[in-house]
A and B are shown apart, each in its own frame.
Chain A
């Protein structure tokens, strides 16, 4: 933080031009307080799901009919659910699954979006027209509804869930990449490289990917938040992670009962808070990243 304070805020870009762009971005990011907090929260969350299972050794799927919906106690720090399972252990196991689903699905959506966007932007013409209309079509459906239908047809499983989210969440990434590729394609330097005999694959790999990677990270972050929310919504509806595996969404499933909603907050508050915190944190980090990589923001 000392570095940040030493830099005098300036209205022009001149003084910052001397600093390498990478470090400049980090500096801009660090200036975004909420983004830093978000990043810390995310890192802690990730660590918790990895480290805590070593400390909390209770089996998240071990049932116990003698401990039905017990409030928090020293034995069960977050109480037990309807099958007598330890809520803390399930929260941790659920975190692993929810975060994993979020990350993998968002990564998948980003890769699909990037590939399609780069192809559309580079080749233009009918290829672009086809991919752009496809993007429009996918964008015009409400993702949740489409994913519900897909999962209902195929049957709920972890793979279906990840694939379904990835297959319907890519258009944002696609549009961003398409735009950047198009403007890049029009640049003289690229025309020059083509003149020197570089094929499309080489240009996409050597020139397009490095250019889009920064803005794409921003999009990907937001996709992670969306994917985590989608997973939670689907699992809440019984179409996500199949039981008995825990996920934050299917832990919330229990809150469908009014008795639980009104008098047993330990069953739904922890997963609810975990989802809210994670999504909020991811979105803040996304905000920070956007400011950091956008050359138009000067501060």
Chain B
């Protein structure tokens, strides 16, 4: 009986893994959906094998482990970290997905990032200043930075990178952020070869001149981080070919602490220390690998992996594992459902409100997340002054939901898909429950599982009904919400394609105003609109939970889960 061999024990599990890796390899060339299912199958088999290994105290290394690494060996200076989805590229220009952002934090570097206290953290920019009128931002760059190939890092690299980010032709998903930069319009129209507002007066100074004041310019640089690219390499490539350029799959030059070495498998990457890094590094190799929550938890326990995100339901258990540290902080982001507003399926605001009333968000947080999060009614949850206290709370009220649907004339035959990329245990459970609760009020909701690359396609085609996604750092400045709802961010971070001119105007005022009291008024009004219109269906703000083994020392959380590798340069091995 073929099924029996799965559970035969260790010698067999090896062969199976071998056999299935070959299969995975064969199908790699085929269409994406297939690799996905094969991959998730591998994951599941991996889980079964690991669970068995954990139960039988096997001491041979698990098959998934890279050659020659012993996760538990005391003298090894290797660290393995989990990625919660499969990484695809080191290209910072294209729309950012969590795993790509994480591997980019190892390989690239940016001007600023967010630090542990939810404040801006100096990186390549040693310091920065803004002119009194809020129209000129000046960045003083470090002078001790060198690319991994020995070329010096200068303001020209920054200038080059920012021009790429502002140029839609490069495939940039962030071009909308630079609409207010002096000369951006002329550049977009083809009247100018470069953007006048970006200048590099000397090798270590970078200046941005704006046409309108923007007191919150920095927030646009950190979510996602606009990583700096090497002009001496990327400058050689045609701008139009950058999106799919092989260089971003296998970059040969880096600026971060650990630079790309090779793809060990389709979803595992090996990093080596950057020989030119400005500080002393303490690790020999870093392996980053996509693992589903269940597999990652099992591997954290057996010591095969040194960092993993922790599912809320597993938090209590992880705290009790010897040698594993649980890192917990209030998450700055949100978990939310997004509909393609341009598809028109959920165009009636009453339908979106009904969806909120149909979901028992309090129980989701208290029970399913074991209290590791909070229900939110607005994207922004910090700083305190930016949060209005008169927002409508959409409580769990199925009767009200049904009434709203009836009012809106909702046809219960209309199929509504809940798009999700599986692998994160909490989210997988949540979508099952949400689908069930929507069905209970007469919305024909079904869960549609898809791999991140398929998801990206659907987003491009504007073909999604209720896509679940978690993101954001909404506790630094209320302007953080701009990227998610402004009209000129459609195609970039404004996933749902929402556009409301009244809201846009308020958000413009918000960044143009320096006075905090005035800003408070503006953002309160903006959030009232969001609260009423429900452009994004907010579920909750989850706590950030991560587990690290005794092998990995110096790990610290800051910002969102896709920012967890911000201080990789400080990592070392314990024991």
Chain A positions near chain B (C-beta within 8 angstroms) = 61-63, 65-69, 82-85, 142-145, 148-149, 151-153, 155-156, 225-226, 229-230, 232-233, 236-239, 243-244, 253, 255-259, 261, 263
Supposing A68-B367, A68-B368, A258-B294 touch, asked if A63 and B432 sit within 8 A by C-beta, the answer is: yes
- A residues near B425, Cβ cutoff 8 Å: 257
- Complex partner residue of A65 from B33, B45, B433, B435, CB under 8 angstroms: B433
Contacts of B311 in A (CB 8 A): 257
Residue contact A63 to B433, C-beta cutoff 8 Å? yes
User: Which stretch (B35-43, B144-152, B465-473, B528-536) binds chain A?
Assistant: B35-43
- A244-B432, A259-B314 known; A152 vs B3 contact (CB < 8 Å): no
Q: Which residues from B are CB-within-8-Å of A83?
A: 429, 432-433, 436
Q: Which of A84, A255, A256, A258 contacts B433 (CB 8 A)?
A: A84
Docked Cα-Cα span, A144 to B33, in Å, equals 20
Q: How far is the CB of A71 from chain B (nearest CB, A)?
A: 14
A62–B425 CA distance with the chains assembled, in angstroms: 20
- 8 A-B interface contacts by CB (under 8 A): A82-B429, A83-B429, A84-B433, A149-B27, A238-B422, A253-B44, A256-B294, A258-B317
B313 A65 Cβ-Cβ under 8 A = no
**Complex: how many Å from CA A37 to CA B422?**
42
Verify if B447 is at the interface (C-beta below 8 Å from A): yes
B20 contacts partner chain A, Cβ-Cβ < 8 Å: yes
- Select the stretch in B46-54, B95-103, B346-354, B404-412 that faces chain A: B46-54
Note all chain A residues with C-beta closer than 8 A to B436.
Answer: 61-63, 83, 85, 244
Residues of B429-475 contacting chain A, CB below 8 A: 429, 432-433, 435-437, 440, 447
A83–B429 Cα distance when bound, in Å, is 6
Candidates A143, A145, A149, A258; contact of B54 at CB < 8 Å: A258
CB of B113 to closest CB in A, whole Å: 33
Residue of chain A at shortest CB distance from B364: A65
Of the residues A230, A238, A261, contact of B41 by C-beta under 8 Å: A238
For B44, the chain A residues whose CB sits under 8 A away are 236-238, 253, 256
Interface residues of B (CB under 8 A from A): 1-6, 19-20, 23, 27, 30, 33-34, 37-38, 40-41, 44-45, 47-48, 51, 54, 293-295, 297-298, 301, 311, 313-314, 317, 360, 363-364, 367-368, 422, 425, 429, 432-433, 435-437, 440, 447
Determine the residue in chain B with the shortest Cβ distance to A222. B1
> Shortest CB–CB separation between residue B21 and chain A, in angstroms?
12
- Distance to closest chain A CB from B223 (angstroms): 30
Q: A151 to B40: give the CA distance in the assembly, Å.
A: 13
In the complex, are the beta carbons of B51 and A65 less than 8 A apart?
Answer: no
Whether A148 contacts B3 by the Cβ 8 Å rule is no
Q: Is the CB of B45 within 8 A of A82?
A: no
- Chain B residues with CB under 8 Å of A261's CB are 51
8 closest Cβ pairs, A-B complex: A63-B436, A65-B363, A68-B367, A152-B37, A256-B47, A256-B294, A144-B2, A237-B44
> When the two chains form their complex, are residues B33 and A155 in contact, meaning their CB atoms are under 8 A apart?
yes
- In the complex the two chains form, is B3's CB within 8 Å of A229's CB? yes
Which one of B4, B54, B364, B447 contacts A244 once the chains associate, using CB atoms below 8 Å?
A: B447
Asked, given contacts A63-B436, A68-B368, A238-B41, whether A256 binds B51 with beta carbons under 8 Å apart, the answer is yes
Least Cβ–Cβ distance between A295 and chain B, in angstroms: 27
* Bound Cα distance A13, B422 (Å): 63
B363 to chain A: which residues have CB within 8 Å?
65-66
**Which interface residue of A65, A68, A153, A255 has the most chain B CB atoms within 10 A?**
A65
Besides the contacts A148-B38, A238-B44, what 9 more A-B pairs have beta carbons closer than 8 Å?
Answer: A65-B360, A65-B364, A68-B368, A142-B19, A233-B6, A256-B44, A256-B48, A256-B295, A259-B313
Tell me the bound Cα distance from A42 to B542 in angstroms.
47
Q: How far is the CB of A158 from the nearest CB of chain B, in Å?
A: 15
Let me know if A152 and B38 touch, CB within 8 A.
Answer: yes
Given contacts A84-B433, A258-B51, A259-B313, contact A143 B447 (CB under 8 A): no
Bound-complex Cα distance A75 to B297 (A)? 32
**Chain B contacts of A156 at CB under 8 A?**
37
A237 to B314, CA, bound (A): 21
Bound complex: CA A225 to CA B1 (Å): 9
Q: Do A258 and B297 have beta carbons less than 8 Å apart?
A: yes
B20: contacting residue among A145, A226, A253, CB under 8 A: A145
Q: Once the chains are docked, how many angstroms separate the CA of A108 from the CA of B164?
A: 60
Q: Report the separation of the CA atoms of residues A232 and B2 in the bound assembly, to the nearest whole angstrom.
A: 12
Min CB–CB distance B391 → chain A (angstroms): 23
User: Taking A238-B41, A259-B314 as contacts, is the C-beta distance between A149 and B3 under 8 angstroms?
Assistant: no
A65→B434 CA distance, assembly (Å): 9
A residues near B6, Cβ cutoff 8 Å: 144, 233
